[in-house]
Amino acid sequence: MAETKKISLVVSEGTFDKAMMSMMMANTAASMGMEVHVFFTFFGLNLLKKGQNPKLPGMYRLFTGVFSKRMANVGIGDFSSQLKMALDLGVNVYGCSTTMDLMRITKEQMVDGVKVLGAAGFLNIAADSDVQLFVG
């Protein structure tokens, strides 16, 4: 029997493109039967707060709605639906404990299902992964 592949992603930015890319990669990997771990740190951690609606960076911010509509037209849901899908698919979603302290973000402010983990804990997971990706 084949061993389950494991993928680990680090998300360090909170913009629309980084948010959507990380969730689409995580959901695709989970749908392929992979064990998926996504670690949100620094400004990426803000994506895990309830009610987040990330925007494109800089001047492109104005076109976030256009991209969202285009994605919806091809069947890709918004960030919150992608995050919910990830959690429903069994993706392990972690908020960085140190960043939570630095940014004064509590577990209660985050979406239900998010786990809290320190960098050392995540590095132990990533070290045993077949694929490691950094989104940010």
Other CB atoms within 10 Å distance of the CB of residue 130:
12
C-beta separation of 113 from 87 below 8 A = yes
pLDDT in 10s for each residue of the chain, 136 residues: 668 999 999 999 999 999 999 999 999 999 999 999 999 999 999 999 999 999 999 899 999 999 899 999 999 999 999 999 999 999 999 999 999 999 999 999 999 999 999 999 999 999 999 999 998 8
pLDDT digits over 3-24, tens only?
A: 899 999 999 999 999 999 999 9
Give the DSSP per-residue string, 39-104: EE-GGGGGGGBTT-----SGGGGGGHHHHHHHHHHTT---HHHHHHHHHHTT-EEEEEHHHHHHHT
Average per-residue pLDDT for the chain: 94
28-41 tens-digit pLDDT? 999 999 999 999 99
Strands 6-11 and 35-40: parallel
Q: With a threshold of 0.85, does the pTM exceed it?
A: yes
d(CA 83, CA 49) in angstroms, rounded, equals 11
∠ CA(15), CA(18), CA(23), 5° rounding? 120
- Residue 1's pLDDT is 64
User: What are the structural domains of the chain?
Assistant: 6-135 (3.40.1260.10)
